[in-house]
Chain A
Amino acid sequence: MTRYAATFQALRARKEKAFIPFFVMGDPDYGTSLDAVKAALGAGADMLELGIGFSDPIADGPTIQAADIRALQAGMTVDRCFRFIRDIRTFSDVPIGLLVYCNLIYRRGIDRFFREAGQAGVDGILAADVPVEEAGQFLEASDRWNVDPIFMVTPATTEKRLDAILKRASGFLYMVALLGVTGARGSLHPAALKLLRRVRSRTDLPICVGFGISRPEHVRMLARSGADGAIVGSAVVDILARNLSNRSKMIREVGSFVRQMKAQTLPR
């Protein structure tokens, strides 16, 4: 059984949902980033979504763009990102999803990228700018190296595309809660719950919701509406950005934020 399958099964048995923080690896530097990940795991994060910084992150809002730039300026490379994941694997066995833009995969060679990611301990890869129609070679590689291909579903996804995605996706389904780019929002988009109901009726695959999820009440609402997990990126990255001059405070705040969010995913 894959780490994803085992973890979601265990969570379901405990009637819990997954809380999944997102980090850009190496933001603001390798060591601090690893400490932040440790703090999140210590505070109860069930899984991790990890991004590789990219020069042109078109699906991301200003918060994650800035994190990408910090990581790249701190000297992060694809090689170092894989080392980062191997480092996490020395102390944690949670499922790890990689969020990456497709040129980084192409450049390395699709097969090689999936192999190296799998060997480093990655469980799923979401290529943010690869639509299911173009995913052929990615799917072959993910099959060969036992890395789940993660796909995004948005409120604009048609039934036909949803069919195609459900046929190919494994691990979990990444549901985008709004139309737009990543970034913390004040309230949960009404389209999110509607989409959640629509997708829920179509698949048993775990559904994790991301984009614009930033507050405890968002997570609570999703947990009660049938989502299997909540992915929080910008709100986590914001904590890093706000505390660049005080690393120990940064790490403490990451811990307390994750603890607070994780609490919303427990059974009532």
Chain B
Amino acid sequence: MPVLEELEESFCRYRIDRTFRAELKALLDRYAGRPTPLTFAGNLSRKAGCRIYLKREDLLHGGAHKTNNCLGQALLARYMGKKRLIAETGAGQHGFATAMVGALFGLKTVIYMGEEDTHRQRMNVLRMRLCGAEVVPVKTGSRTLKDAINEAMRDWIAHVEDTFYLFGTTAGPHPFPTMVKHFQSVIGREAHRQIRSLEGRLPDAVVACVGGGSNALGIFQAFLGRAEVKLYGVEGAGEGLEGERHSAPLNRGTDGVLHGAYTRILQDGDGQIREAWSISAGLDYPGVGPEHSHLRETGRVRYVAVTDKEALDAFVLLSRTEGIIPALESSHAIAYSLKLGRRLGKEAVVVVNLSGRGDKDLEHAQSALERIGRVL
């Protein structure tokens, strides 16, 4: 608790501090490459039957939106005088982004990654190590993201003095959900401005995938107050919502406490946490950011789910039609935008958060495609 209070206090102080903000802005612009473009996906739009724009977080340095949050938190760590960064990672994108900023700021960096995920995302492990981070394979539990979080929390409890836990998503204990949303909200601010200048109006819908939920909250934030903009969060339906192999706590979970947040989680009747499943390592988390649970309850955001197969199809389709290889996570959002087109009509403007690029997923996607009898 004291360490969370210290973090909250520092975050509240520096988020409004002029020097901190200027320094973060400069890093985002000149190191990470903001603003990222909003690309009209003409070929995909014809297929989908609506006007689809892609918010290109895949073009951000590091290859995913994670860099926004990592720069913000690492800068905060420096202002707080911390010497060591730790982080959990699922797909490896957050781990890699943390390793990048660790190298940039000269901070010792340790990344906890489920052993299962270190195999699924070998390239990201290499990238992290290349940037000087120590990657610790986590061998407990389901050996995926939730277990990596458990292990990072254990490390943090033992090293609170010098260590900053750079949490990757809008889940976990307060102030992480608030703080991560804050650092990711730059996505929505830009998209809001860009779509107005390109289309002269706000979009009819904004679509983003939801694992922990940081890219989704990041882009939704700017549109929450505009009721005419429909918001869709897309969870991983895995092999189907009717079975147990999915990662859709907002669609199929129940209320509970995981990693210090009261939210929708996948659990059994006793409250034991169930393992989540998704083709995409970045989505298979049995919980979700508490703000998403709230937005689900108020009905402001509609939470839907897309299967592994639909996501794979979208992964291939975007590559073929636009020459853009999306991350498997973001492929879930693409897949749902195709369904939306048929519903909203061809004049409808849909913004999809393309949260990351798919280079990291090539091997994994290829073997998944082969299993269903397709070749790249």
- Which residues on A are within 8 Å of B, measured CB to CB? 54-59, 61-62, 65, 72, 77-78, 102-108, 129, 131, 133, 156-158, 161, 179-181
Contact = CB atoms under 8 A, between A and B. Distances in A.
Nearest to B271: A107
B157 A180 contact: yes
Contact of B273 (A55, A78, A129, A179): A55
Given A156-B160, A161-B1, A181-B157, A106 B150 contact: no
Sort chain B's interface into a size bin: 20 to 34
B115 to A, nearest CB: 14
B114 to A, nearest CB: 13
Interface string B182-207: 00000000000000000000000000
A179 to B, nearest CB: 6
B343 interface: no
A58 B159 CA distance: 15
30 contacts: A56-B141, A56-B273, A57-B150, A58-B150, A58-B153, A61-B154, A65-B140, A72-B272, A77-B270, A78-B271, A103-B265, A103-B271, A104-B270, A105-B271, A106-B256, A106-B257, A106-B271, A107-B271, A108-B270, A129-B257, A131-B1, A133-B1, A156-B2, A156-B160, A157-B1, A179-B157, A179-B158, A180-B157, A180-B158, A181-B154
Given A56-B141, A106-B256, A107-B256, A78 B270 contact: yes
B258 to A, nearest CB: 7
Given A72-B272, A77-B270, A102 B257 contact: yes
A248 to B, nearest CB: 30
Given A56-B258, A156-B2, A108 B160 contact: no
Contacts of A65: 140
B255 interface: yes
B342 interface: no
A54 B146 CA distance: 13
B154 A58 contact: yes
Contacts of A158: 2
A56 B146 contact: yes
Contacts of B160: 156, 179
B373 interface: no
A134 B8 CA distance: 16
Interface string B1-34: 1110000000000000000000000000000000
Contacts of A161: 1-2
A156 B159 CA distance: 11
A110 to B, nearest CB: 11
Given A103-B257, A106-B257, A107-B270, A180 B154 contact: yes
